[in-house]
Structures are given as C-alpha cells and as structure tokens.
Chains A and B, each alone.
Chain A
Amino acid sequence: MAIDVIGLTAERAAALLRGRACTAEELAQAYLDRIAAVDGEIHSYLHVDPERTLAAAREQDAAGVDGLAGVPIAYKDLLSTRGVPTTAGSRILKGFVPIEDADVVRWGNEAGLVSLGKTNLDEFAMGSSTEHSAYGPTRNPWDPTRVPGGSSGGSAAVVAAGCAPWALGTDTGGSIRQPAAFCGLVGLMPTYGSVSRFGVVAFACSLEQVGPMTLTVRDAALLQQVIARDTDRDATCTGPRAPIEVPEPGRLDGITFGVPRVELEAGVEEGVRARFDESLAIAESLGARLVDVDLPYARHGLAAYYVIAPAEASANLSRFDGVRYGLRVDAPDVRAMYEATRDAGFGAEVKRRIMIGTYALSAGYHDAYYVQAQRVRTLIRRDFDAAFGDVDAILLPTAPSVAFPIGARLDDPLAMYANDIFTLPVNLAGIPALSVPNGLSEGLPTGLQIIGPAHSENLLLRLGAAFEAEHAFDPVPPGLRSAA
C-alpha cells in the first residue's frame, strides 16, 4: 500500500503496524522515499543508509511487531550509534564510527525502533540555528529561507517535513525546545538526570539532556517512556522518579500557572507575544489560575550560561586532539599537530566557546567568572524553587521570535545567544520544560513553554495535552502538504 507519512504520528504508525496495515519494511521505505524526495532541499539528515534501515525494519517484521517495534526514528548526530558515523556536526569527527551505542539509542533499539539516520545540528550542539554545522545549514520546512532553530534543527526539520515520525534531540540551553517551536513541534527537555547521557557527545555535561521531538504530546510521552531509564553508565542519571504516563487532554481546574511578566518585557516579538497571551486566556478558560511570578536572577541566566557552558565545553572538546581518532593534520611535533588539527577541525563558533571557557577557568579569572557564574546558577535554581512553592508550572514563550532568516544572525553571536533567553535558565536549574505548538505568527510556528519542578514530566505532559487540544494545531507545513 502507499503510506502517507506526512503528519503521521508515531502512535498512529505503531497502530498501522500492529493492525498489519503495513509492514515495518514498507513503512521504512515510505520514509526513505520521502527523504529522497525532499531532503535535498531541507538538508536535515547527515547520514542515511537505506540498506541498513530496511534490514533493521525486516528484522522487526520477522520478530513480529509489538508495542513501538518497527516505528522509524531519527537521531540527532550527537548521539553515538555503533557502526554508523557520528560527527556531532563537526569536521573534526568526519568519518568517526562509534564502537558503542548511546544508552538512548540502545534502548530505542531494544524497543524495536528503526533508525532512519542521523540528523544535522550546530557543531557540537553549539548554536540556535543549525547554521553552525560543518556540513551546511538545515532549512525550515515551513519556510526554506529560514532556519529550523538549533541546535537540534535537523531533528526538528525531519519531523516537520515528514521525513521521520519523531526524533531525539538534545537540549543544553534550549536546543530541543526552540527548534520544536520554530518547526511547529512538541519538544520535551527532561529533568536533569532522568535520561542517560552515555554516548551523547558532550557539550556541557551539567546542562544537557536527551529528549523527544514529536508531532504530538502523546508521542513525546511514548518516546520519553523509551529513553527515561536508570543506567549504570551515567553517574548523574537515576532515571525518572515515576513511570511516564501518556496523557489525555482535559480541563485545568486547580492548576496555578506562574507568569514571569517582567521577563516578557524583554524583546518578545509582537506576534509571539499575542499568541502567548491567547494561550494565557485558554489556560483560564480551562479553569487554571494565573499569577505573576518573579524570577529576579533568571534574567542573569544568559550571562551565567555563557560562562558555565563554554567552561565545560572547553574541557569536553580537548579530547579531539588528533591522537586516537578523527581528523589529524600532521605537523613536525605534537604541539603543532594539536594546533593544526584543532584549527582545521573546529568551526568559528566552537573555537569562540573554547576560548571563552578556557579564559573563564584560567588562573586569576576562575573565581571572577566560573565561580561567580555557579553562584548565579544556585540563585536561579532558588528562584524556581521559590516560584514552585506557589505555582504548579510556569508559562513563557519558548523563544522570543519566530524562525529567523538564514544568515540573519550569523555575524552577531549575542543576538543569536539572546534567542535562548527563555530556555537557558531552565537548564541552569536542571528542571524539565515542554514546548508545545502555540499557533502561527506571520505564517510561522511559535511555541509555548511549560516549565515545571524537577520530575514533573507527567504534569507537564498533561498540561501540554490540554493546550494542544485547544489549539488543534496542524503540524504539517502548508507547502509540504501540497507537495505530497
């Protein structure tokens, strides 16, 4: 049968497979056809291996599909895949083939998910537009002249373009939520320590988590069930505190939302603000109460983040030295080899962050930058703790703007960084947040960010499902619908 994969949710795909409406192989082939048709323009995949994908699908067919088995998925190319190239969007890892799967990939395999390939990203997840990939930018399926957001822009674009039913991304400062918002998707950044980071090419260890990027809130819950597990390979991961539940939409009686009014004054686009205010009205119409919350230190999140994340990154990226794997540029002695290799292997944004991080940790500056930023981080965490004494969850736009044109912010790092102003503080606090589609502005998707206390994923998913039902958002970009 001909399968229309555009707008096909993972939950529906699983139902088709279980109902024998199609085989896993046919489903995988339908996505591969779709990728072949549109990914030349979107450029969301860095690595697709049809033979491997079809073999994996046939294996699921042979085993007899059950649960999510046979449902395809795309992985951000920051996640290690055994035997399949993993580049982190960097020239320095061109051709690198991991010897082990990331825990989340292993669990995806255990659940029977069939990998369609590896998705594009900002190099080492450093960026908010996917323009910093060494392999070229990804385009937004809603408007190919615009960015899909980042750093998980490839994962967002594949799902929005119907090139995968869902995908995994990673979020260090907004890298799941912002591209989900820019591409009209659901994105969940889980509580720090609830998903294993083993096998995730590290950018900033204390900030990042793997999470789902999906067409629906229910799909996000289903994928979170697969990846949120305890592991003995990540000392900071203890899994979820309670099993993840797949939510049903409902009323919000008894729920109190906090709205940080002061934060909203800072440069939010008019259309984004209007959609956000509409969602506040929806919340009230569903029975929720809105109160103002003050997060006085959260507005220093950007500054603290751009010390802590580069500091960790400067150490994490030191291993790319040309000695054991990846790119090596030969030189007369070892120091020159390091310098030539790293100069050729890293892009400008990565170099910028390594320089910032190295500086922030240097003798004489360490206390003024790194230690001070950690103090601010503690204060931000306390801001949220205090707020959650009064409210169940906090609402903010996911990003202050809609997807911006490709190239618009490349020469202005501060403007690029500022796009994450509403998402960064959440990573600093280590708490979960869900971005759900929040209607269009200028024909482009906007996102509603729901932030909750640690391990409140089930609450966030339930709240997200309620907004999702009210918005009845169509996640298929109009241009693609007609193209199909």
Chain B
Amino acid sequence: MSGAWQRNGYEAVIGLEIHVQLNTASKMFCACPNRYGDEPNTNVCMVCLAHPGALPVANAEAVRQSARVGLALGCRIPAASEFSRKQYFYPDSPKAYQISQYDQPLCAEGSFHVPGEGAFSVRITRAHLEEDAAKMIHAGGDAGRIQGSAGSVVDFNRAGTPLLEIVTEPDLRSPEDARRFLTLLRATVVAIGASDCDMEKGSLRADANVSIRPLGSEEYGTKTELKNMNSFRFLERGIEAELERQLGLVRAGEAVRQETLHFDPATGGLTSLRSKEEAHDYRYFPEPDLLPVAQDPDDLAALAGQLPELPVARFARLTGAGLPEATALLLATEVELAAYYDDLAGRVGDAKVAANWVMGELQAHLNAAGIVADATPVTPERLAGLVALVVAGTINQTSAKEVFQALVEDPAATAAGVVGGRGLAQVGDADELGAIVDRVLADHPDEVAAFRGGREQVVGFLVGQCMKASGGRADAKALQALLRERLTA
C-alpha cells in the first residue's frame, strides 16, 4: 500500500464516524422544515422543542434515503431496525435524550472500495439514523465552550434534523487514505442525492478514531477520538498531528490515554475534551414512542435497482474508456462535472478529446468563475460545437481558446458564428501559407542563416513569427512542414 503511514516501526490504525445531514424537506421526527440558514428558532414546534406530551413520528423519506446510502455502501439492510434513546443532559438536547439507534441499526456490515493507485477497501460497521442537536452559541469566556461563557443561546432550528451516522471499521492506514475515503464517500452520498454534504455548513462532519500499533501486531492500541475536522484538509492534518503525538508518547515510554480531542485548525493543536473516566453512560434503551422500522425486501431490491451510477462504477467506466486515473477520479467524485463530461463525450464521440476539454479549458473557466459545471453558460452543446471545429481542422488550438472565451462572454454566440464573424478559420492553404512563410524568411535573413548553419532550434522562433503574421490562424502542422521545406530547399 503506497499510502500507508508507517514510522519507527509503528503503523496507523484509523476509523471514521461520519455524520451526514440528510436533505429531506422536513425534520426527522416532526413536520418542521429541515432548512439551513433561517432566522433562529423559527423552524420549531412542540416536538423539536420537547414540550411535554410531544411525540416523535419517524420521517419515512429519511428512512428511504438512509437505506439508499446503505445499499451504496454495500450494507445489509435488516428487515427490522429499532430506534433507541441516548440520554445526556445538555442544552442543545431538548429532550435530554437523542433518538438514535443502538444495537439494531438501519444499515449493517458494508464494504466500500476506494479505487485508483494504492486502492483499498474499508469495512462499514453500520449506518444508523438519528436526530441532530440544536446549535449553541456561547458569548464571552473560552471561545466556543459553555464553561466560563457569559451566556449561551440555543437555536433549535437544527434540533431534530435527520442525521445518518456512518461508522467504519478501523481499516484506514494513513491520513491520506482517510481523506481519499471520505472524498469518495461524500461523492457517493451526493450522487445519490441524499445530502449536499457541505462540510462548511456542517452537513458532512467526520470524527476519527486514531491509534498506532507496532507493525505486524494484530492488536489495536489505545485509541483517541478526534472531533471538529470540518474540511478534508483538516481531517488529514488532524489525524497526522494525532499520529505524531501518539508516536511521541509511545517512543518516550508513555501510554496513550483514551480521550476525546478537539483539533484546532488555526494552531494545528489538539486539546482534550474529556477522558475515558468522564465518558457518558448514555443509558440506551429502545424508544417506546416509535415502532421498529420494517424493511420490505422487494422495496429494498427496487431501491437498489434505482440507484444512479455511483462514483466507483463511474471511475471504472472512465478508466475503461482510456482516461487517466487522475482524470477518472476527479470526474468520479464531482457529480456536476461528471454529468457535464458525459454529455460532452456523447456529443463529441471521443472520450479522451472530451476529457481534455473538460480538464483544460472548462475547469480553468469554472475555477476562475467560481461556479460548478451546471452553472456555466458554455453548455455541453455549445462546447461540442467548438470541439467539432477543432477536430475538423477548421480552427487551431489558439483560435479555439479565443472562441471558448467568446462563448463564455456571450451566451447567445455559437462557435461557428464566432469563427465566421472573426475570420478565425485556419489558414491551411499552401499558397496563402507559402506567401506568409516567404515574407517572414525574407524579413529574418540572420535566423535563416543560423538554421542553415545547424541551429535547428531557430525554427521555433520562425514558426512563431509566421503564426503572428497569420493573425494566429495558421494551421500549425501545415506551417511547420512548409517552413522546413523552404528552409531545407
């Protein structure tokens, strides 16, 4: 495995706990809107405020979306699963228990393959459905901590929104693999449409269980749990920092303490939130207000059959079509770009040519504009018109870039229209090119002499001069051939 983290005879053992906020219209156990960014405490009712007498009713769409994600992760979906109460007192938990799942989760025992160089698989322990907590804001005191704060306010809009918690086995062996895995998992959930998985908005959150052990050992070392890694980069950096910290402890003859750590991306530091001794006793028991969730095998088979093409399958398809792994991986993980690519490739009829355009001009344009592929005015249809002109030899690469820019700037323009209007059609005609070459050679006698004296590299300068004289429209191949012909005549 190329990506494995191994230092001083120790290897990394990493498992992830991933929270995916589902994008259902309503909350997990009530009819309130499941919406981010609204005025605080507007999307609330007696259920998600835990008024006395309130009862939960499970959101069937959240159950369905969770099953779809589970199927995509290769999970077994048991015929019956059960909600349980997980009890703890904190102001973000209105009932002082979270309705979650304990020993009978919605999805069990899956496996997820990360393809490409250094491919690896991660076993999925389980995926279970639960409700999110409210959001707390602490004023004064330690930043972001209730201890020592002057006052705290709670926004219950997020309370009760549906969360799918995906737990992996400790199968990851490096921070990089953890990032690769999470990237592909995110792409899979996005492809399914169950969540936007926006780490900045918190709709995708990952905690890591990290330990090290001597190479070759079968036993696990003491693990720590890392929280608050709210980007792919922080995930990688946080795990890296924790592995180094544990290695330092072990090499100094000290023991790793089981604890929960908070990663501070600003400083790269890790601070302890609580030790094992302070760990909660959640006093789980089956939720008596809800019936077990029954899954019909026929419904599950239908759900599995209706899943869209998933990133892993797309990667295989694209590498099969001859695309480089890096390109295939990018297209596999970016849903909008992949859809764009598929559309363009279908119109152009050549996977590699389409990939070059998507990875080149289009990506540069999207990055510069800060938009995703389905927001560009240069639709696959318009770009295909441009590609066709290049493939047919009507314009050269230099003109193609100009035409692309024109398509960006004027949504009404077509590639053919721009080429015609600006006279960008390639000059490939031998007479016309010959005249240009003759004029350039006549203007640069020193360079001609140098070439003939053996300095062949001068030809590049002369090609450039000819291209310039043609207004950038010369057929580069024909030009090269003609120039060499004249120089060696």
Contacts and interface: CB of A to CB of B under 8 A. Distances in A.
Decide if A and B are genuine partners.
yes
B372 to A, nearest CB: 39
A16 to B, nearest CB: 33
B285 A333 contact: no
Contacts of A233: 55, 57
A314 B285 CA distance: 11
B118 interface: no
Contacts of A318: 87, 89, 95-97
A358 B284 CA distance: 11
Interface string A297-339: 0000000000000011011001111011100000001110010
A234 interface: yes
Contacts of B51: 80, 98-100, 325
Place the interface of chain B in its size category: 20 to 34
Contact of A315 (B49, B55, B85, B147): B85
A201 B55 contact: no
B119 interface: no
A483 interface: no
Interface string B93-104: 011110000000
Interface string A189-214: 00000000111111011100000000
B146 A202 contact: no
Given A315-B85, A321-B89, A323-B154, A199 B289 contact: no
Contact of B53 (A198, A314, A324, A358): A198
A363 B281 contact: yes
Interface of chain A: mostly helix, strand, loop or mixed: loop
B477 interface: no
B91 A198 contact: no
Given A235-B57, A318-B95, A321-B89, A99 B52 contact: no
B95 A235 contact: no
B58 A235 contact: yes
Nearest to A361: B283
A366 B52 contact: no
A235 B30 CA distance: 11
B270 interface: no
A86 B290 CA distance: 25
A350 B417 CA distance: 82
A366 B55 contact: no
A429 B223 CA distance: 45
Contacts of A312: 285, 288
Between A102, A199, A324, the greatest number of chain B beta carbons within 10 A of the residue's beta carbon is seen for A324
A311 B285 contact: yes
A320 B284 CA distance: 19
B26 to A, nearest CB: 13
Given A358-B283, A366-B283, A96 B52 contact: yes
B291 interface: yes
A333 B95 CA distance: 19
A236 interface: yes
B46 interface: yes
A88 interface: yes
Interface in A378-416: none
B284 to A, nearest CB: 8
Nearest to A90: B52
B50 interface: yes
Nearest to B95: A319
Interface residues of A, number: 45
B237 to A, nearest CB: 32
Interface in B288-308: 288-291
B214 interface: no
Nearest to A357: B283
A93 B55 contact: no
Interface in B13-64: 46, 49-58
A200 B95 CA distance: 15
A232 B285 contact: no
B53 A361 contact: no
Contacts of B291: 235-236
A235 B290 contact: yes
Contacts of A99: 46, 51
A201 B52 contact: yes
Contacts of A236: 288-291
A45 interface: no
Contact of B55 (A88, A197, A325, A333): A197
A325 B95 CA distance: 12
B69 to A, nearest CB: 23
Contact of B94 (A100, A204, A319): A319
A111 to B, nearest CB: 20
A318 B285 CA distance: 14
Nearest to A232: B57
A172 B146 CA distance: 38
B49 A324 contact: yes
Given A319-B95, A333-B147, A324 B281 contact: no
B266 to A, nearest CB: 26
A79 B53 CA distance: 8
A98 B52 contact: yes
Contacts of A197: 53, 55
A318 B147 CA distance: 21
A12 B147 CA distance: 63
Contacts of B284: 361
Nearest to A323: B91
A335 B85 CA distance: 21
Nearest to A322: B91
B176 to A, nearest CB: 37
A363 B56 CA distance: 26
Given A202-B289, A318-B87, A320-B52, 14 more contacts: A79-B53, A80-B52, A86-B52, A86-B53, A99-B51, A198-B53, A236-B291, A315-B283, A318-B95, A319-B50, A323-B91, A323-B94, A338-B89, A370-B285
11 contacts: A100-B51, A199-B53, A202-B53, A205-B289, A232-B57, A233-B57, A235-B289, A334-B90, A361-B284, A366-B283, A366-B285
Interface of A: 79-80, 86, 88, 93, 96, 98-100, 102, 197-202, 204-206, 232-236, 311-312, 314-315, 318-321, 323-325, 333-335, 338, 358, 361-363, 366, 370
Shortest Cβ-Cβ A-B pairs, 5 listed = A318-B96, A206-B288, A361-B283, A205-B288, A199-B53
